[in-house]
């Protein structure tokens, strides 16, 4: 980056000079520990890079000075072009099941791991860039454009504010290089993001397919050290690792369901062993509650629909269990049985996490029986589905209903609904807490039609709608006063075409 120093020119005029210094120091933990799963890559030089949006919060967590990152040298660090001595970006190698079909090699086709950096708590975080040009595993040209990169920035911040585990964007940099994209010429961009790690289920699948038991053990040991250190002291460390992943993934899946989030492409190469949400291309949030909703333009049969997310995540865990089987027992057949038995616990764990999440959404603490709360929550969801009621709005309106004002909630239904009357009577008799409801149920989510408006404006050079929406989504539980904010809490207007998403990220 650079130290800004005041100097005086020969004319006596004050000017500024930037003294050069090394870019931020990054560790090379993954690249050095697992070179077999790393391929060197050189990010393509960007002609006119400039910051579109920088996440000061994430920068601060990593001990990076946001002002330094905005300098010309800092911007080129964020595109992967200017790194400290010894730093070599690598594309990570992995496999994966896509649409249920195993792909023996996928890997980073337009992304690179720059290295790792410790956050304020001493935890290792990946520093990763996307849209940097082709790698040895590219299936397209390796570049990205502004809209999808800003979309991932927006979605990761929204999910973080909703307390859903997620990767987080550090910056979006406009490259100054236009790209041909779907018969349009669009401005190019690079996304810099952070993650607890980028180890995917597909990373284990790739190693398992190679038949390299020692590499499989090293990869598992890496994940234990990074994500589940307590497993190292267990009687069976690799079983403890799988157990920890199953529980964390069950909790993450329940988080998606409580927020009405539809990931859209839950292939095993898009699921992290850290149980952070990653890859926000075809994702969307529910408006009217439809349990079978899916939005991806290429998901013809709804494989990754909202209500199928728990079953597909269990299926993905089964594939991870298969890959880990050689480490779970001395005999491969026994290892497969052990893995299958451990993954079988997912259903009960998911139901437990789901019930706890929806109990809070209803305004109840743990004094209310979990089974009763789960029944009430499912009955509410059935009502929403039958009457096509807005998912986010219904749960938020429960706060007013808990304070004896049921009208906003009733207005979401057409006419009198006897089943709603009965449900409200049963629910209100349990004395729900309005403050807990407001603290648990957001008023603002990334409404699909508003997100698209903001991204279209940003693509045309106007970032104001994007920034306004970003600010709102970073504090989704606090109601903003003024009529200008009302539309952000409402679903798409009647007659709006069904939202469709694309794998642009």
Q: Phi/psi of residue 284, each to 5°? A: -165, 165
Catalytic residue among 255, 269, 279, 397: 269
Kindly calculate the radius of gyration of the chain based on its CA atoms and give it in whole angstroms: 24
- Asked if 166 and 277 count as a contact pair (C-beta separation under 8 A), the reply is yes
- Asked if 152 and 270 count as a contact pair (C-beta separation under 8 A), the reply is no
- Asked if 280 and 152 count as a contact pair (C-beta separation under 8 A), the reply is yes
The two tokens of residue 181 are: 């994209």
What is the separation of C-alpha 208 from the centre of its chain, rounded to a whole number of angstroms?
A: 26
Spatial separation of the C-alpha atoms in residues 70 and 216, rounded to whole Å: 40
The answer to whether 269 is a known catalytic residue is yes
The two tokens of residue 362 are: 């209803």
Q: Phi/psi of residue 305, each to 5°? A: -65, 165
- Asked if 409 and 428 count as a contact pair (C-beta separation under 8 A), the reply is no
Spatial separation of the C-alpha atoms in residues 82 and 69, rounded to whole Å: 12
CA angle 256, 261, 267 (to 5 degrees): 75
- DSSP SS3 for 321: helix
Bridge partners of 124?
118
Largest pairwise CA distance in the chain: 85
Which distant-in-sequence residues (6+ apart) come within 8 Å of 221 by Cβ?
A: none
Spatial separation of the C-alpha atoms in residues 56 and 171, rounded to whole Å: 9
The two tokens of residue 164 are: 């859903």
Closest CA to 402 of 443, 371, 435: 435
Closest CA to 144 of 186, 189, 107: 189
Spatial separation of the C-alpha atoms in residues 59 and 66, rounded to whole Å: 6
Residues marked active site are found at 269
């Amino acid at each position: 980056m650079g130290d800004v120093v005041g100097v005086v020119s020969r004319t006596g005029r004050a000017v500024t000079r930037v003294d050069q210094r090394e870019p931020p120091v990054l560790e090379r933990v993954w690249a050095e520990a697992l070179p077999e799963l790393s391929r060197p890559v050189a990010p393509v030089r960007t002609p006119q890079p400039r910051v579109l949006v920088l996440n000061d919060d994430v920068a601060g967590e990593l001990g990076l000075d946001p002002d330094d990152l905005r300098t010309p040298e800092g911007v080129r660090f964020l595109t992967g072009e200017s790194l400290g001595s010894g730093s070599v970006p690598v594309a990570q190698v992995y496999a994966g099941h896509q649409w249920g079909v195993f792909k023996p090699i996928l890997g980073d086709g337009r992304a690179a791991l720059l290295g790792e950096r410790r956050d304020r708590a001493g935890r290792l975080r990946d520093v990763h860039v996307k849209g940097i040009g082709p790698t040895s595993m590219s299936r397209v040209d390796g570049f990205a454009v502004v809209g999808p990169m800003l979309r991932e920035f927006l979605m990761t911040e929204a999910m973080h504010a909703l307390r859903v585990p997620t990767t987080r964007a550090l910056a979006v940099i406009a490259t100054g290089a236009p790209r041909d994209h779907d018969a349009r010429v669009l401005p190019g961009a690079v996304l810099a993001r952070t993650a607890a790690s980028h180890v995917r289920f597909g990373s284990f699948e790739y190693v398992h397919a190679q038949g390299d038991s020692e590499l499989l053990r090293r990869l598992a040991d890496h994940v234990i050290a990074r994500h589940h250190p307590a497993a190292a002291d267990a009687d069976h460390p690799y079983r403890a690792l799988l157990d920890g992943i199953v529980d964390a993934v069950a909790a993450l899946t329940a988080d998606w369901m409580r927020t009405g989030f539809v990931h859209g492409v839950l292939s095993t190469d898009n699921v992290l062993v850290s149980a952070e949400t990653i890859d926000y291309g075809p994702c969307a949030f529910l408006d009217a509650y439809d349990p079978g909703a899916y939005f991806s333009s290429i998901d013809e049969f709804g494989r990754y629909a909202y209500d199928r997310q728990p079953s597909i995540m269990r299926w993905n865990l089964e594939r991870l269990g298969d890959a880990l089987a050689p480490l779970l027992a001395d005999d491969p057949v026994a290892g497969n049985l052990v893995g299958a038995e451990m993954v079988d616990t997912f259903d009960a764990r998911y139901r437990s996490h789901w019930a706890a999440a929806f109990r809070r959404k209803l305004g109840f603490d743990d004094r209310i029986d979990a089974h009763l709360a789960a029944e009430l929550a499912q009955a509410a969801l059935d009502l929403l589905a039958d009457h096509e009621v807005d998912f986010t709005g219904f749960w938020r309106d429960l706060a007013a209903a808990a304070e004896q004002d049921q009208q906003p909630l009733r207005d979401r239904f057409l006419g009198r609904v006897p089943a709603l009357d009965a449900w409200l009577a049963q629910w209100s008799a349990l004395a729900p807490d309005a403050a807990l409801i407001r603290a648990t149920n957001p008023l603002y989510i990334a409404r699909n039609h508003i997100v698209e408006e903001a991204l279209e404006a940003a693509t045309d050079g106007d970032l104001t709608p994007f920034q306004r929406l970003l600010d709102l989504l970073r504090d989704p539980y606090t109601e903003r006063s003024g009529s200008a904010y009302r539309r952000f809490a409402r679903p798409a207007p009647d007659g709006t075409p069904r939202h469709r998403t694309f794998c642009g990220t």
